[in-house]
Amino acid sequence: MKRTLLAVLLAAAACSSGPQSKPTAVPAAQTGSSPANPPGAATAQTPGAAPPAAGQPPAPTAPAAAGSAVAQAKPEPPAIDEKAMDKTVDPCTDFYQYACGNWMKTTPIPEDRSQWGRGFSEIFQRNEALLHEIVEKDARGEPDGVDPFAKKVGDFYATCMDEQKAETASLATLQSWLKDIDGLRDGKALAKETAFLQAHGARAFFGFGSQQDFKDATQVIGGLDQGGLGLPDRDYYLKDDQRSKDLRALYQEHVAKMLALAGTPEAAAGKQAQAVMQMETQMARASMDKVERRDPNKIYHPMDRAALKKMAPYFAWDLYFAELGAPSVQQINVLVPSFFKNLSKTLGSTNGADLKNYLRWKALETSANSLGKGFVEERFRLTRALTGAKAILPRWKRCVQMTDRALGEALGRSFVTTTIGDEGKRMAKDLIQGIEGAFERNLANVDWMDDAARAASKEKLSKINNKVGYPDKWRDYSSMEIGRDSLLANVAEAARFETKRDLDKIGKPVDRNEFGMSPPTVNAYYDPSMNEMVFPAGIMQSPFFKPDAPERVNYGGLGMVMGHELTHGFDDEGRQFDGNGNLHEWWSKPVNDAFKERAECVAKQYDGYAAVEDVHLNGHLTLGENIADIGGLKMALLALRQKNGGQVAPKVEQDFFVAFAQVWCTNYRPEAARLQAQTNPHSTAQWRVNGPVSDNPEFAKAYSCKAGAPMVPQNRCTVW
């Protein structure tokens, strides 16, 4: 449950309420969060579903001309973009429109995107151009001497760019998988095949991966979680409105068409798709609601393997763990026991043919993006319905993203040499210290806390580990075998490597030096079990941060991000973990009750915000992110003032607020805004600006707003 800065809609960005994708990772087995909205690339994967396995991007459709990456990357924006503002709007009425109005009017959403933002999207685009130069050189055998795995990077990218091999060699890899599935004869074989598919990137039935023990943060155990769905969320299977019915019909038709493309006769494909839909609907009914999952106590059910086998007897767990590569695992957190009880019954009552049909679909689902044009275009048909994107990203962009996911810390070694320097890293660390100092000083003014809670919170604050830019120890990819034949084989190998790397952690002490995101990632996160904040080099760029930018801009951009991540350590989820990362009550009941009362105010406030048309935000789903946004903005301003002797000029504060708002300027397609509101723990951009400023009395002072103005509500909601 890493708390990341970004709302992840698509494969182009990092995760929302979970770590960057692992092939069999448990979506909520880590606790974490994010502060921003990603570029929203129109990938061919199902948006909103669990992220693709390591190295699994949707396959692009057409190569780009040489140099096009650089040509398409926009130059760095000015520190504060006056042209982006709509000064005809009263900032006290709608600050987001005031800061971003002209940008939104004049910035179209690219055809291959479901949304586009001034901050994350444009940084992502510039990073993508730089990564493109690196992988092209690696593919030509011109490594820069920095990355010892440059040949693997080059081979992976070159194979991805060979569209003909996607049509032939990758299809042959898939057909070998399907042949194995067709040959299944009993439950033992089913368990072994499930493990094989999961290890190679498929989301079959459920997820399994390593997890820090919530109540002993020094140890790594296994984490077993609900999963196996192809639509973005359980509610897509259960809601009775017409749009949900239409999407389910489209999804079932999509499954049938994909099966037919893989060689199943059309009539049989339709029946198989119906069986897949029935099975996924059963799993959706047994899945825990996404809001309920935000309570770590509700997803912590440790048990040994014997108890798991007794609870879910219709699955050969011993064979599964052995095949997956975790034969000795004993201690397992079963996040949602009721899901596995129901899954066991489903497996015991479903005929073998339908189980094989489901596994065939899962193999296809994870492979489609690495196959030929027909599979990619059919996959995108579902993406378009869910996100509104009009076109698939060009092939080179897909391949850059895929290479980053497969070999992120190899590619990242070259990336950081041309981006964040020693001075930038030093300045960022100073900025973090300023934000932490602001939070510590603010604790004295939090009137709902008692002295014991303040002291414990100060202790937790002192133990936060801050990671900036890139890891001290780079990942070793020596055991990953990458060739220049089958793209799908390379994707599956990257997933296998990541699965093994992840599962090898189980039963060992926690490694507190690891980065959970690759250095080029435009995102950040806080992990409460690790009690750490991580800021990759990818986000440490303009408009968030630049060494020579005005101080107020850096504080409004990256400073707010840092304040956001820090506040996650004390939001409705993070506050339940102490300074050592252990889950338990470390505040008194009166303090807990006072916190919950203020948090409920925030939830009700955001319930009232419309994301698009008649779809409102879910205040309880977005609660942690909203608390972090409100707190992060406050801490960044307090730190800026402290850096300048306790106060700054009104114009400087106005610029601070504009710099903050302009990193969130975003245009959405209606489908994308709806998808985010229904499935994502982050509010849409308008409310990530207007919500926090309306809860900040210093904003009203900076702009001389009158009481009762929309940005000056009568009852402000403030936790921190």
Query: What amino acid positions are annotated as catalytic residues?
Result: 565, 629
Tokens standing for residue 654: 């106005």
Strand runs labelled E in 204-246: 206-213, 216-226
For 510, phi and psi rounded to 5 degrees? -65, 135
3-class DSSP string for 288-346: CCCCHHHCHHHHCCEECHHHHHHHCCCCCHHHHHHHHCCCCCCCEEECCHHHHHHHHHH
Q: What is the C-alpha to C-alpha distance for residues 524 and 34, in angstroms, rounded to an integer?
A: 6
> For residues 716 and 694, is the Cβ–Cβ distance under 8 A?
yes
> For residues 667 and 115, is the Cβ–Cβ distance under 8 A?
yes
Q: What is the C-alpha to C-alpha distance for residues 122 and 645, in angstroms, rounded to an integer?
A: 34
Half-sphere exposure of 322 (CA within 13 A, CB side): 8
> For residues 392 and 42, is the Cβ–Cβ distance under 8 A?
yes
Q: What is the C-alpha to C-alpha distance for residues 513 and 511, in angstroms, rounded to an integer?
A: 6
Tokens standing for residue 683: 């509010």
- Burial environment of residue 142 by CB neighbours within 10 A (0 to 12, 13 to 18, 19 or more): exposed
Nearest to 55 by CA among 28, 20, 88: 20
Strands 666-668 and 115-117 turn out to be antiparallel
For 386, phi and psi rounded to 5 degrees? -85, -30
Tokens standing for residue 442: 């603010």
Contacts of residue 83, Cβ cutoff 8 Å, sequence gap at least 6: 102, 103
DSSP result, 616-644: EP-TTTTHHHHHHHHHHHHHHHHHHHHHT
Tokens standing for residue 207: 């997820």
> For residues 31 and 573, is the Cβ–Cβ distance under 8 A?
yes
Give CA separation, 527 vs 320, 472, 568, 577, 686, in Å: 29, 18, 8, 10, 26
Strands 610-612 and 615-616 turn out to be antiparallel
Give CA separation, 454 vs 459, 495, 583, 587, 717, in Å: 9, 44, 18, 9, 20
Residue where the block lists tokens 């607020």 = 657
Give CA separation, 102 vs 85, 105, 107, 547, in Å: 5, 5, 8, 27
